Amino acid sequence: MTKKEFKAESKRLLDLMVNSIYTHKEIFLRELISNSSDAIDKMYYRALTDENITFNKDDYYIKITADKENRTLTVLDTGIGMTKEELEENLGVIAQSGSFAFKKENELKDGFDIIGQFGVGFYSAFMVADSVTVVTKALGGNEGYKWESTGADGYTIESYEKEEVGTEIILKLKENTEDENYDEFLEEYRLKSIIKKYSDFIRYPIKMDITTSKLKEGSEDECEDVVEEQIVNSMIPMWRKNKSELTKEDYENFYAEKHYGFDKPLKHIHISADGAVRYNAILFIPEKMPYDFYTTEYEKGLELYSSGVLIMNKCADLVPDYFSFVKGMVDSEDLSLNISREMLQHDRQLKVIAKRMKEKIKGELQSLLKNDREKYEAFYENFGRQLKYGVYSDFGQNKETLKDLLMFYSSKEKKMTTLEEYVDRMKEDQKYIYYASGDSIEKINKMPQTELLAEEGYEILYFTDDVDEFAIRMLMNYKEKEFKSVSSGDLGIEEKDKEEEKEEENQDTKEVFAFMKESLSDKIKDVRPSKRLKNHPVCLATDGEVTMEMEKILSAMPNNQGIRAERVLEINVNHDVFNALKDAFENDKEKLKVYTNVLYNQALLIEGVAIEDPVEFTNNICKLMQ
Ligand code: ADP
């Protein structure tokens, strides 16, 4: 019997497999089971269409057998089998393999990746086996054949006595090495768990002989090992089931079984799409925030199946970053089983699926917001920040998708409110959506800058997350209403403007403020009479784009570029303090300098910003007390 050479590409591929340092070698079993399942599919189809073939449902199965003594692992199927020619074509020449021929037209052109595309098929057996034997008999064939190979040096084919139609793949496992344990692929529990993990939803039974310890017949304490044939996989994928057949508990069990989280799902989304790209998906929004969610450790992604076979644990391309909290799986029969990570990114079907799911998730969140406010608020409490990051990142390209999902605390409602609700409640003459930034609701409540707006009955949104102001800047406006910080120079409230202008026109006042500005020199841009203060004597406002809150956040960043807000010191001219300032201006300019320094530092303290020279500040206060 002569040994035949593999064709060049196959040989290269085999080399890669034999010497593979791939960490998930266990996937060879997934590949072999998947091939078996395909072969049974073909048989099934033939039996359906050819009345000369009688085949019972029970005749379709896959069986996995481990033989520890001989170090062999066998995958048997009752599929369609292979003729001698098919053996040659399919296992000898990779270029003839089914999926290769299918892929050829559409994918070979642009940068094609052989190991990613085809490497993980049948040849993956060589990651764990020194030699592979394929015994097969084709439907309608008279004889069986045996194909054998020890790797890249070639293969042999000879006639072989085989009764049943189907295929058996026998792997002679490699000897253990220092780094690799191949014995594990002979252990029942290990094999069972690999099958459960990757092939649970194969629609034919995957059988194994399982040894269990049982009480000996007639004995009360003596046990014996009994070998029983068991079906290891559950066979029916939950996602293929009809939604109406499934209960909330089913989804919760699925969530737990899949280890999506230790909590319960807040909401599940079950999609069965039958359009241009067919897929089923079960997605979850977790009830609790994963402990590492807002860290770099957290890895987003969904499980990706191709026709019931798991091909990737965390396919990141399926969910956008702003929905990274979504857990779950997608199964599509339109995806190639052997698609690589690199190829997936460019896969058109996958892109279509990702886009549809993104829309679906958004829609579900919107309907949750509308119909189950409490749940939505619970969701938002955990993941709202991620949505806001989403508005801000990627140069705001997702802001339209996300803006209606945003919520902020409202000064008026004393609870979370959406931008739409805010705009609907706006006063007739109100130009802006007002917001105040601070560490907490309590702190913002006390901000002097909110006094006027609050008194005039304007609603203020509270920004308590670092990202809020940045996200809103990216959004720019909502329903054509611009956002305005309560600390910004011009609040756009007209009557008040006029009233205060009178004071500004007053020559004396102008001189006092000019002197104060001079004494603070480059610390501030201006000193002005305040339009927004009611009871407080002083506060800081800002001109320009950067607010004090943004300055604080930016300066805490590692690549801090020293960006500063344009500070404006605002004085309440209706406050007694203002009289003291005027008095000092006329009688004691040195005293006015001390007053100015104290007021400026007070304004900084109110903002929660560290004062520049605490010693000078306290000395100044002492001076005033003496
Ligand atoms: P792929 O499955 O992507 O085509 P493989 O290298 O895994 O690539 O398999 C090559 C071909 O060998 C398959 O397309 C199939 O025609 C044939 N084959 C593999 N395993 C079996 C099997 N158990 N029964 C029948 N045919 C098989």
CATH code at position 80: 3.30.565.10
Residue 297 and residue 330 in one domain: yes
Residue 506 and residue 462 in one domain: no
pLDDT of residue 118: 41
Residue to probe by mutation, ligand 1, list 33, 62, 90, most atoms within 8 Å of CB: 90
pLDDT of residue 329: 96
- Domain boundary, last residue among 231, 257, 290: 231
Q: Determine if ligand 1 sits within 6 Å of the CB of residue 167.
A: yes
Measured over the CA atoms of residue 578, residue 582, residue 583 and residue 584, the dihedral's sign is: positive
pLDDT of residue 500: 54
Residue 518 and residue 456 in one domain: no
What CATH code is carried by the domain that includes residue 600?
1.20.120.790
Q: Determine if ligand 1 sits within 6 Å of the CB of residue 168.
A: no
Ligand 1, atom nearest to 121 Cα: 7
| Burial profile 439-452: b = 16 or more Cβ within 10 angstroms, e = fewer | eeeeebeebbbbbb
Ligand 1, atom nearest to 34 Cα: 2
Q: Give the residue whose CA is nearest to atom 9 of ligand 1.
A: 122
Q: Determine if ligand 1 sits within 6 Å of the CB of residue 97.
A: yes
Residue 517 and residue 440 in one domain: no
The residues facing 270 across adjacent strands are 282
Secondary structure of 203-256 as H, E, C letters: CCCEEEEEEEEEECCCCCCCEEEEEEEEECCCCCCHHHCCHHHCCHHHHHHHHH
Identify whether the C-beta of residue 398 lies closer than 8 Å to the C-beta of residue 424: no
| Average pLDDT by stretches of 10, the chain with 626 residues | 75 69 78 90 81 82 97 97 92 49 37 39 88 96 94 88 96 93 95 88 90 86 91 88 88 80 91 92 95 91 84 90 97 76 78 95 97 97 96 93 97 97 95 94 93 92 94 94 90 65 71 94 92 90 88 83 89 93 93 95 90 93 91
Residue 504 and residue 464 in one domain: no
Q: At 332, phi and psi to the nearest 5?
A: -135, 135
Count of positions (residues) in the chain: 626
Residue 110 and residue 227 in one domain: yes
Residue 158 and residue 271 in one domain: no
Distance (Å) from CA 97 to ligand 1 centroid: 7
Residue 464 and residue 340 in one domain: no
Identify whether the C-beta of residue 260 lies closer than 8 Å to the C-beta of residue 327: yes
Distance (Å) from CA 62 to ligand 1 centroid: 15
Q: Determine if ligand 1 sits within 6 Å of the CB of residue 83.
A: no
Distance (Å) from CA 112 to ligand 1 centroid: 20
Distance (Å) from CA 155 to ligand 1 centroid: 16
pLDDT of residue 100: 39
Token duo for residue 334: 């339109």
Ligand 1, atom nearest to 123 Cα: 6
Please state at what angle helix 507-520 crosses helix 494-505, rounded to 10 degrees: 90
Residue 566 lies in a domain: yes
β-strand pairing of 477-478 with 481-485: antiparallel
Distance (Å) from CA 272 to ligand 1 centroid: 29
Cα 70 to Cα 1, 170, 186, 568, distances in angstroms:
25, 11, 10, 85
Distance CA 56, CA 39 (A): 16
Identify whether the C-beta of residue 547 lies closer than 8 Å to the C-beta of residue 589: no
Residue 486 lies in a domain: no
pLDDT of residue 483: 96
- Domain boundary, last residue among 481, 516, 534: 481
For residue 52, count other CB atoms closer than 10 A to its CB: 7
Residue 398 lies in a domain: no
Token duo for residue 489: 């120079």
Residue 130 and residue 164 in one domain: yes
Identify whether the C-beta of residue 409 lies closer than 8 Å to the C-beta of residue 377: no
What CATH code is carried by the domain that includes residue 338?
3.30.230.80
Residue 460 and residue 545 in one domain: no
Residue 567 and residue 421 in one domain: no
Identify whether the C-beta of residue 431 lies closer than 8 Å to the C-beta of residue 457: no
pLDDT of residue 105: 38
Cα 66 to Cα 72, 194, 231, distances in angstroms:
6, 14, 15
Token duo for residue 139: 């439907």
Q: Determine if ligand 1 sits within 6 Å of the CB of residue 139.
A: no
For residue 614, count other CB atoms closer than 10 A to its CB: 10
Distance (Å) from CA 35 to ligand 1 centroid: 5
Secondary structure of residue 537 in the 3-state scheme:
coil
Q: Determine if ligand 1 sits within 6 Å of the CB of residue 37.
A: no
Beta strands in 68-143 (DSSP E): 72-77, 129-137
Distance (Å) from CA 90 to ligand 1 centroid: 6
Measured over the CA atoms of residue 511, residue 513, residue 514 and residue 518, the dihedral's sign is: positive
Residue 491 lies in a domain: no
Q: Determine if ligand 1 sits within 6 Å of the CB of residue 90.
A: yes
Q: Determine if ligand 1 sits within 6 Å of the CB of residue 35.
A: yes
Q: Determine if ligand 1 sits within 6 Å of the CB of residue 79.
A: yes
Question: Which structural domain, as residue segments, surrounds residue 593?
Answer: 499-625
Residue to probe by mutation, ligand 1, list 32, 91, 97, 133, most atoms within 8 Å of CB: 97
Burial of 485 (0-12, 13-18, 19+ CB in 10 A): buried
Distance (Å) from CA 318 to ligand 1 centroid: 28
Residue 410 lies in a domain: yes
pLDDT of residue 117: 39
- Total domains in the fold of the chain: 4
Residue 273 and residue 314 in one domain: yes
Structure confidence by residue, pLDDT tens digits, 576-596: 999 999 999 999 999 999 999
- Domain boundary, last residue among 201, 231, 261: 231
Distance (Å) from CA 34 to ligand 1 centroid: 9
Residue 592 lies in a domain: yes
Distance (Å) from CA 133 to ligand 1 centroid: 14
Identify whether the C-beta of residue 616 lies closer than 8 Å to the C-beta of residue 594: no
Secondary structure of residue 134 in the 3-state scheme:
strand
Residue 387 lies in a domain: no
Distance (Å) from CA 560 to ligand 1 centroid: 57
Residue 384 lies in a domain: no
Largest CA distance in the chain: 120
Distance (Å) from CA 122 to ligand 1 centroid: 6
Q: Give the residue whose CA is nearest to atom 19 of ligand 1.
A: 35
Distance CA 321, CA 316 (A): 9
Structure confidence by residue, pLDDT tens digits, 519-534: 998 899 999 998 888 8
Q: Determine if ligand 1 sits within 6 Å of the CB of residue 233.
A: no
Q: Determine if ligand 1 sits within 6 Å of the CB of residue 126.
A: no
Which DSSP symbol is given to 70? T
Q: Determine if ligand 1 sits within 6 Å of the CB of residue 121.
A: yes
Measured over the CA atoms of residue 508, residue 512, residue 513 and residue 518, the dihedral's sign is: positive
Residue with tokens 């004889």: 143
Helix-then-strand count for the chain, H and E: 21, 22
Q: Determine if ligand 1 sits within 6 Å of the CB of residue 338.
A: yes
Q: Determine if ligand 1 sits within 6 Å of the CB of residue 551.
A: no
Q: Give the residue whose CA is nearest to atom 21 of ligand 1.
A: 35
